[in-house]
Structure 1
Amino acid sequence: MPFEFKILKKEHINEVVPLVEKLNEFKVPASLLKERFSEMINQNYECAVIYDGNKIIGVCGLWYCTRHYSGRSVEPDHVVIDEAYRGQGLGALFFEWIYKYVKEKGFEAVELNTYVSNYQSHKFYFNEGFKILGFHFLKKL
């Protein structure tokens, strides 16, 4: 496979917006996504991507923290692979790369949220060995 997995340089963060928009259940406009990403890249955040040549075909945000119950953990966020590349095992390869990458950085756990309506992702994460521990709640202020 000619695919390349890497951490996106901060100055290229807006290149992921078109893919993230496809996952965007809350219909956040691209302009606001760009504004938020420009803040996120200066927090405990990195953005992993999959390239096919010069084209970004997959994206996964990585949030880093330490939690009292799981230790040093990373939270994959806004995970999406371009529809034309789905069903080829690319998601599993991407997560294999992510696990190796974060383990080398000293992290010991991976936990994530997924939209209730995203059944494809549920199957994928179960196959990756994830377990449901609770519910994610959101209250907009």
Structure 2
Amino acid sequence: MLKIKIRRFDKDEINTFLPLVQELMEHSVEENLLKARFSEMFEHRYECHGIYVEEKLAGVFGLWFATRHYCGKTCEADHVFIKPEYRSKGLGKQVFQWIYEYARERGCETSELNAYVHNFAGHKFYLNENYVIKGYHFLKKL
């Protein structure tokens, strides 16, 4: 198992993590628009973290913090992405153990996430992490 180091990115480090987020996305979004969106996200209880293996960026994930009526204070993992060459090496398990500990330190009671419908490997991983499918995520373009 590879040993990871997790580092929180500052808002001005967008060019470091953006290429990884773009690899994960189902459809392309113009880069300047994506940068503007991330800039705004950083103003709203959002954090972005890098996953490093031997000082090399191996992945990225975001975290949203909120209080919700149905589950209390929660930490929602977002755009979790590990580069293909680092997959199936135990990084995901280590990342989520780090997220759970970090969220507990911040007073969170629950952890949530969304996953693309076609991400079957992700579904299996999240179910093995004891996430429970509670609903569907709907999206409508306006």
Q: TM-score range by the shorter chain?
A: over 0.9
CA positional deviation for 1:36: 1.2
Question: Kindly tell me: are residues 130 and 2 of structure 1, through their superposed partners in 2, closer, same or farther at Cα, counting changes over 3 Å?
Answer: closer
Specify the alignment match of 2:59 in structure 1. Answer: 58
Count residues in correspondence.
141
1:132, distance to aligned residue in structure 2 (A): 0.3
2:31 is the counterpart of 1:30: yes
Question: Tell me, what secondary structure is at the counterpart of 1:32?
Answer: helix
**Deviation, structure 1 residue 2:** 4.7
Contact 1:73 1:108 in 2 (8 A): yes
Listed as ranges, the matches of 1:40-119 within 5 Å are: 40-119=41-120
Kindly state the Cα deviation for residue 84 of structure 1 after the two structures are TM-superposed.
Answer: 0.7
CA drift at 1:135: 0.5
Task: Give the conservation status (yes or no) of the 8 Å contact 2:72–2:109.
Answer: yes
For residue 19 of structure 1, report the CA deviation from its aligned partner.
0.6
* Contiguous gaps of at least 5 residues in structure 1: none
Q: Give me the identity figure in percent.
A: 50
Give distance in 1, aligned partners of 2:128 and 2:31: 32
CA contact (8 A) 1:67 1:73 kept: yes
1:50-98 per-position Cα deviation (integer Å, ceiling 9, x unaligned)? 1124432111110111001100001111110011100101001000011
Farther-moved stretch of structure 1 (2-11 vs 62-71): 2-11
Shift of 1:35: 1.8
Q: Which runs of 5+ in 2 are unaligned?
A: none
Higher mean C-alpha deviation, range 115-124 or range 50-59: 50-59
1:140 corresponds to 2:141: yes
* TM-score, with structure 1 as normaliser: 0.93
Name which of structure 1's ranges 68-77 and 35-44 shifts more when overlaid on structure 2: 35-44
Task: Output the aligned Cα RMSD.
Answer: 1.3
Q: Distance in 2 between matches of 1:93 and 1:128?
A: 11
* Structure-2 separation of matches of 1:55 and 1:35: 26
Aligned to 1:5: 6
